[in-house]
Every structure is written in C-alpha cells, then in structure tokens.
Amino acid sequence: MPAEWEPHEATWISWPQPGSNSFPGSLDRVVPTFVAMVEALAESETVRINVSGAEQEKCVRKLLKSCPPERIEFFPIPTDEPWCRDHGPIFVVREKAPQLAAVNFGFNAWGYKLSPFDEDNAVPPAVAAALQIPLFDFPNFILEGGSIDVNGRGTLLTTESCLLNANRNPSLDRAAIEKKLCDKLGVTTILWLGDGIEGDDTDGHVDDITRFIGPSTVISAIEEDESDPNFEPLKRNLDRLHTMRIADGEPLHVLTLPMPTRMMRGGQRLPASYANFYIANTVVLVPVFGERNDSWAISALHEALPTRRIVPIDCRELIWGLGAFHCLTQQQPAVG
C-alpha cells in the first residue's frame, strides 16, 4: 500500500445522497464544501466521483462547472454515506502486471452505528470492475481506510480503540489483526496508538490524530488545554510516538499540530481535527473552523509539506457529519 504523498492517478470521492444519515436536514449547507474540495483537487489530479445515477451526475456537473471537465469523471456507483475513505477500496501496487489492484475489506458502518450500509459495502468491487483491475476480496475482515495510515515502506499506524474494538472483528486478537494487516497490505511493522479524540464515532480513527507525512515523519495532534478531555489521550499517544521505530529500525520524527477549540452541537462534541487533512499531488486540503488555531495549523502543515499548496477550506458545516477531507477521499496510486 503506497503512502498518501506518493503520486496519485486520481482521487475518489462519493457525492452525498439526499436523506443520508450524515447530514440530516443540512445537505444544502454542506454541498458548497464538497464543491470547494473538488475544485481544489481538480487543480492537482483527476477526481473520480461516485454518484447514484445519471440524474445526480447531471446535477453535480452543474455544480462543478468551473472545474476542467477532463479532470472530473463520474461513476454510477451508489453509496449510503459520503465517507469514501472508509467504504471505498484500498488500492495496492504489485510488481507484476497489472500493477494496480484493489483490496475489499468488510464494512459494517463503524460497528453498526448507521443503517443501511449495504451500498457502501458494495463499493470496492464496483470500483475494481469499473477500472478493470484485480480485486483481493476479504469481506470477513472489517477495516475502514481511516483507521490506518502507512508510510509506503512497510510501516502501518493505527489505534487500539478502533481495531481492537469488539464491534469490528471480535474473534481476532491483536496478533491475529496484525497478521491480517501484514498479509493483506504488504506491511511488516504495526505501530499502535491508544485512544482517539472525543466525539469521534469511529471509535478513534488514526486519521483524526496522527498522520505519516514522510517515510519516518509523523505529525500528531496535541491539545494544550489540560482541562479538555482530549488532553490526556493525545499526550499519551505523543509519548508513545517518541518511543516508536519504523520497519527499518529508524526512530520516528514527530511533529505536532494543534487541535481546534471544542466544537459542540446539540450537546455533542464534534470531532473537529486539523489532522484530517488530505495530501493530493500538488495540494493539501486542510479543514478549518473559523477559529484562532486555524492559522497555527495552516502554518504547521505548510512547514511540514512545503512542496504542496496548502488549501484551507471551512468545515464548520461539514464537521456536523463527524468527518472532514481525509474521511471523504481515497487516493488511487499512479503506476507504470
């Protein structure tokens, strides 16, 4: 599994459906964020969009009229929710032709938290068929793309709170899960963090807390307010990172990223995190929230990823769906 910063042929997204669980009564307020995301991505690479059918494709084309048409491709692949990172295929690269392949893991809507999810669970085979690439099918192993992050050199980062949760693979212990990850994704070293952030209904996806941005470099979210419930778990994760080594034995180089101040809706903490950025070929999409730490996060990512243009996009509406740009996207590696 290549690292996210390696060259992409395309980025996949799933356009949100009316009546989805993610944005009840607020889809119209969220669509402008999707448009801004695609416009930024289209500067960088082809954007492949899953839609419910021809009628939705027609509507979305009108919304994206400012994008170069040759950079936008539509696929009639229906979905329940828009979180393509979790329901889409994980692309892998192999030495023999055809080099690109897709892996299909089982999807159960983050431990049966939403229903229905049958269409989401059917996305990877449909994408593989559309691209006419091989599909490695492991439907009995539940895994979402946002729960893992790789450096493309044999090391995978994840969290205990998600992958060891009994609502995913209750019959598998840590050793068995590690073996599955190594066998299916071509990694040799698994690095385990502890808990995720408050309000994250995925049980602690790693893409909200710590991300690889280089073969031996990670950037990790920290909370400075000691009274915030995220302070201790993020501090413990940071302490772990400072003791970790990648597959070749090199220690991790650890950079830090602030957390936004607490965002609430209806008495619920929203999982706002600058760590849910997405690295495309020439740009980095960064969720921002109209608050004081936005500029700090933008500056930190500009220093961490200096060869790409940092594109901050307001996510105050999007985060009501409990995710941001990394959750919405899935990279398709370039091969050949």
- First-to-last alpha carbon distance for the chain, in angstroms, is 15
Angle value at C-alpha 9, between 7 and 11, nearest 5 degrees: 100
Q: Where are the beta strands (DSSP E) in the chain?
A: 8-14, 46-50, 72-75, 90-93, 100-106, 135-142, 149-150, 155-159, 189-193, 210-214, 217-222, 253-258, 264-265, 268-269, 278-279, 283-288, 309-314, 330-333
Residue type, 95: E
CA distance 204 to 307: 30
In this structure, are strands 90-93 and 100-106 parallel, antiparallel, or unpaired? antiparallel
Beta bridge partner(s), residue 50? 14, 75
Give residue 123's identity as a one-letter amino acid code: V
59 flagged as catalytic: no
Residue 270, token pair as written in the block: 């929203």
Query: What does the radius of gyration of the chain's CA atoms come to, in whole angstroms?
Result: 18
164's CB contacts (< 8 A; 6+ apart) are 174, 177
Find out whether 308 and 279 touch, Cβ atoms under 8 Å. Answer: yes
Which helix (DSSP H) or strand (DSSP E) does residue 156 occupy? Answer: strand 155-159
Helix (H, G, I), strand (E, B) or coil at 325: helix
Q: Is 202 helix (H, G, I), strand (E, B) or coil?
A: coil
Whether omega before 312 lies within 30 degrees of 0, making that bond cis, reads no
For 218, the 3-state DSSP assignment is strand
Q: Please pick, among 84, 162, 315, 327, the residue that the annotation labels catalytic.
A: 327
Rounded to 5 degrees, φ, ψ at 142 are -80, 125
Residue type present at position 62: K
* Residues assigned a catalytic role: 327
